[in-house]
Structure 1
């Protein structure tokens, strides 16, 4: 069953778009330890979902449940409207029309590039298989390497072959388990762009597992943040970054600062200033989230704080400094603003700063 993918010009509310994958209350425990805890989510046809979270949060386990390699204790999984897991149903992996791209490539060392790509196409006629392999070699930009073996390829080339092999049977959903983490930075950035372009060109729905915040925000139509087996938040990259639903999301995705804040009348009072903010927490004490890029550093001989460290990141500097009470703050400034370590500064916030108060921990 193929689900039509809306064109970019189609104006349809996101919640009304066709769902290719649906998980409902999926839970899996190993020896009384919850690996996946009541996860429910949906994947729109043609979209890329970035599954983001730290190591051990349940990302790969959730991917294996979708693929059919793991059986959850509770919950259901539907693919293209068909129940594949749950309520007594378990469709085997090879019948789910799902492709998988692994972190370690998992290529057969004794097979050539062409043989690796065509491995899942053995039921095709030889002429059709050769044509399909040639199409995929061209798609992943390896048109002349069909007779090489995996050990004769670079890491980036091996991952391209693995991608072509996963795409060969024309899966409805492609599952990518941190596929670029073994590559160096320049290759990873280039291949990330190429993989996304191929997925969009082919209209393939995908789930991309990563622990890299920038990677998830860059490639995904929707980002799902996981923590301790739970789904903390799901939304567009812009929503996840600007409107974190929990303190964990704010810390993990944006690396935000947090300062103790006290509600006095209509203002949240901190040691760096007072801020009029609406908040959903019921307490009069909380922690104010301040993003690093929203902090302005103003050198002053009588400044209340002092630059402790400075890291040059190419197009920007990242500073650390301590508040009078000893709280550590990080601030990011353009590379044109270079403040030596030890410089005394006053701190203010940009007018556009997106602040939020969370319950104290």
Structure 2
């Protein structure tokens, strides 16, 4: 999936994340492209995420007299070059052989946290070994002993936060994957999870996610077998007592859930509709952000996820009061387009765009951005 030597100027010509998306689309098989870009149901939540962000217009200030903009931030106690983390995303070797290792190296060099997925295609330990700030994202599995083992591995590997995704009691019906009968190739697996108990030596590392079936998504089948749909607040409270890592709850849209997360000791919540890949009628994440911020009242960090497609979107999140944002699919586009170098380019674009957005809105730093008024079209 790398850019051939004679095509090296294509990356330089990718002046926006939309340009990177086009490069990725040219390099990916149709079923993998659908797996990355698709959403649940009619995919209207994805469109709503974008429309809601576009409808927010921060009102610029003038004559600030600074001439520079500082994008540096603190996220969950760690310094970052900008208020951004790379969102957790599964099976990144689907996009490029470097997979999570290339993406994590790019995040390290960009100075932003990289969130390792439970379903990463390289083990936790190999990803954290590249250096930089890593957080570990946890899906709640049916076997609590496996959950605890993953937490202990994340701690031992040096992860600096634990991000629990709570909006997948059941995988949303992603029609593109169903139509494609999508399954993982044999060389891509959930490296942090053990193979099925009945798998023989020839099938080591395989799971139900590899078993192609007409009219079904193998990945959804695997999720149904592995994830515990009955996760509840008592489970999170138990987990809070098992680790000293900052606990972040990802997938919150209702302010009442944000309040409960704070009540069990969460250090942060991520306002997210899973990029439009779960509940097909969910509100846009940015529409839910203000009420969550009001409910939390500064008692924990609040980050925005879903639909972030440029530095101006990060500014929008800041202007509403968020501590920062997560970016997902564009990182996968960069990985597909040019491996680690492609992700590095995506993160550089985001940094450049945020700095320019701060300058043009009269903000010398992130604190000033949070003081901007916002007009809703």
TM-score by length of 2: 0.27
Q: Which of 1 and 2 has higher RCO (CA within 8 Å, sep 6+)?
A: 2
Specify which structure has the higher proportion of helix: 2
Higher strand share: 1
| TM-score of the two chains, using structure 1 as the length reference | 0.28
